[in-house]
Structures are given as C-alpha cells and as structure tokens.
Chains A and B, each alone.
Chain A
C-alpha cells in the first residue's frame, strides 16, 4: 500500500465531525450523536440538561465545571464529549435523586452556609465527595489545598472548608449523621 492510500484509509477509519458516544451519566446509560468538537461540559449541559455543570471560564481556570470521571475530578471544559465514551460521569445531580432528602454533603453545605451564589457549589460538592471517600479526617489546611482547583467568588472559602469537614463527620457517622437522618425523614 502506498503512503497516500494508507493515509486516506486512516482518514476514513478515524477522521470525523460527528460520532456516536455511549457512556454512563449519573448511573444511567446514555447514547448520543455528538459533534466531535463538543466539550464534555457542553454535552452535559446542552444535550443532557445537566445545567449544574457551570461554565465560568471555559479554559480550565475556575474549576466550576468539575465533574467526576470514573470517580476522579476533571474539568469538563477541557475534555471532548467523545473522550468520555465508555466511562462513567457523575454530576452533582448524582448526590441525591430526591430534592427533599439531601445528601449529607449537601446538608453540610446548607448547615455551614458553605455557599452564597452557588456557582461553584456543584464542583465543590463533587470534590468533597471525592476526597471524603476514604473516610479520613481532613484538617483545614488539607481541605484548603484539596479544593484549590475550584474558585469561589463569594464565600472566602472558610465556610466551604467547614462544610467539607462537617460532611466528613456525617459520612463517618457521628452526631451529625444522626441529625441528617432526622432532617431527611
């Protein structure tokens, strides 16, 4: 095969403007046709109506578009939707399917006033879920470092740090967890 034949073959095999992408989003299988240049953030917002994915800067600075990809936080404005094929994406909607029964992390953000305008909150809550997964106790300084990739324009961060620590206590099953149960029922 000559080089040019091989190259043409490569184009037809790989080159395209649209693709069918199949992935899991918040526990459900999704198959959609997408333009290959569509970012994962726009796909989640525009195609799946998951508008909790907030676009602050669209170039990887603010972190407000953070989602979990196979459990790890990523900036969804810095990925193409096609690249998420075969993977699991979680947005903050995955925390609680029931608006009247908040997830302990959401409950903790409410109790600690860990949000004001709420623009960074979905990202902060997902990041909290990721770091709290291992059950360890986090110091102020550690939480501050762990959430440093997400900018909050409002809170000055201290209440977010308090909320993450409060959520950690609830998830580990302290007095906060009991209170969470009562409120939810």
Chain B
C-alpha cells in the first residue's frame, strides 16, 4: 500500500521542528529514519495530518565528546555506531549492540533518536540506554530538559516525551578502560526483534570480584529493565561461572511479558536467565582481557 495524504514539512533547524511539533501535536508525526514509521504509513495504520521530516536538521547528526560524556545526536544513523571510532573507543557497548538492530538496510536509515523515542521494549538501543545510565536530551517550546533513561521508558511503546517535544540527543557516560562489556540476543531469525536480550557492563576488582556491574534486559516486560536483583546479588561476589549462573536466575522474577505468538512467558523466563548469564560471562571475559592487557 501507499502512504496516505499528509502535509510534508522538512525543517532544517531543531527550533523549527519543535515549533511545528508544538503547533500540530498529536496530529503530526516525526519522520526520522522511517524504519518504523514508514511501514505504519504505507499500511495506513498511521494517518497523520502532518509529517515533520527531521533528516535535514544537520545539528542532530553530530557525535561529540563532552568531558566524560559521549553525546550522540538523535539523527545519527544506527550504522554509524558500528563504524565510528569515537563510539568504539568511548562507549564500546553501543558498537556491540548496533549489529543486532534490524538488518543493515534498516541501520543505514534508522536513527539513534528514532529508536529511543519509539520505545520498543524489545529493541536494542533502549536496552543499551538503560544499561549505560544514559540521559535523553529533549527539546520542546520551553527549551531543553534531560530525562534519565530509567525514567524515559514508561510502558509499551510509551516514553516520557511530551507531544510537543523531540529527542535531540542521548548522553552516555564514557565507559572506563578496564570495564568489560557484552551484548547477547536471542531472536527467531537474523534481524528480528529480540525474544530476550541482555547487555552487561562489569568492573572487576583486583581480587577478581565484581566491583560494580550493570545489566539491562530487553524483550521481557513493557519497558527495557535493569536486572537490579542480579546486580545486587553479584556485587562484591567472585566473578565465576557458578556465581553468575546462580545470580542470573533472579531475572526470571522481572519477566512480565505474557504468552504471545513469539514465545510463552515460561520460555521467555528461561531465555532471560540464559542471556543474562551469557552476557555477564562474556563481559567478565573482556574485563579480564582488558586488565591483563593493561
């Protein structure tokens, strides 16, 4: 099918994009990479009066380092996360997560801000944002404000973004040199959304115990979740396969997805434990490599 009729606007500044969003609110949609919106338009599941295309806003396409923070503009294409040295160097988890976002044909168009604003709980970037304690920078008519990733994702495809606001960037704390990071996903087919996926960032103490760790899980609830019970169980514990396997079981309690056409809830619980265990194991291995190499 073909997109319905709409008024097409392609502002070249954030201010004009926000002014248009403020004017048309719920009657308008923001077109970023189009990998989720264009299917909805083509199938006429979305029928907006106004489409605000932000692809010409070059201010949104920058990646900059600001002290201990990497700031990625909302309009940066997902494929750039796989190739940009600044990303690999400062926040390596993003480069590990990016290849799992759809297919390469999607990543060449899809944007970082688009995926975050879409707030799909099975998507990779929201999971990474929660794991990395990212902060969303959003702009509305009243100016900009920041929202912690943990507060940004509020429910099924629902974020804390107001109808007249745009995500303009995401700010990510620079990962320490000695940390280990990993991402593990299980999907039915290459490029599908995750049945369950886990991202992990771990810091090991000199005695091989977990000094700190952060684990985010996608696909098991209405939002991406932090595996807080797993994190608490492991902090200060030896980073061994046995302690990880025992603690990973804690994630099952956070699985709230009901049975659906892709997986039963019981199977998702099983997968959640598995991906958490594997992600932690892989992150510990990279942390050990990095500290051996230093």
Which A residues have a C-beta under 8 Å from some C-beta of B? Answer: 6-7, 10-11, 13-17, 19, 36-39, 42, 58-60, 63, 66, 69, 72-75, 77-80, 82-83, 145-146, 148-150
Contact = CB atoms under 8 A, between A and B. Distances in A.
7 contacts: A17-B5, A17-B7, A58-B42, A73-B105, A75-B35, A75-B109, A82-B53
B8 interface: yes
Given A59-B43, A77-B38, A82-B10, A69 B108 contact: yes
B102 to A, nearest CB: 8
Given A14-B20, A79-B109, A149 B103 contact: yes
A87 to B, nearest CB: 11
B42 A149 contact: no
Interface string B107-141: 01100000000000000000000000000000000
Contact of B39 (A38, A78, A80, A146): A78
Nearest to A123: B105
A110 B16 CA distance: 52
A58 B109 contact: no
Interface of B: 1-11, 16, 19-20, 23, 31, 34-35, 38-39, 41-43, 50, 53, 55, 79, 102-106, 108-109, 189-191
A79 B110 CA distance: 11
Contacts of B109: 74-75, 78-79
B53 A83 contact: yes
- Ranked nearest first, the 8 interchain pairs of A and B with the lowest CB-CB distance are A149-B103, A36-B8, A14-B9, A59-B39, A148-B190, A78-B38, A72-B108, A37-B3
A77 B39 CA distance: 8
A73 B190 CA distance: 17
Interface centre among A13, A19, A75 (most CB of B within 10 A): A75
Given A6-B19, A10-B16, A60-B35, A145 B105 contact: no
Contact of B6 (A11, A37, A148): A37
Given A59-B43, A79-B109, 17 more contacts: A6-B19, A7-B20, A10-B9, A10-B16, A10-B19, A37-B2, A39-B2, A60-B106, A63-B105, A69-B108, A75-B35, A82-B53, A146-B104, A148-B189, A149-B104, A149-B106, A149-B191
Given A16-B8, A42-B2, A149-B105, A10 B20 contact: yes
B124 to A, nearest CB: 16
Contact of A37 (B8, B16, B43): B8
A73 B42 contact: no
Which secondary structure dominates chain A's binding surface?
Answer: mixed
Contacts of A66: 105
A93 to B, nearest CB: 19
Contacts of A11: 7, 9
A127 B35 CA distance: 18
Given A14-B16, A37-B3, A42-B2, A78 B11 contact: no
Contacts of B104: 73, 146, 149
Contacts of A72: 79, 108
B42 A39 contact: yes
A60 B108 CA distance: 13
Nearest to A131: B104
A7 B52 CA distance: 13
A24 B161 CA distance: 38
A68 to B, nearest CB: 9
B108 A145 contact: no
Contact of A63 (B5, B9, B42, B103): B103
Interface centre among A42, A73, A146 (most CB of B within 10 A): A73
B18 to A, nearest CB: 10
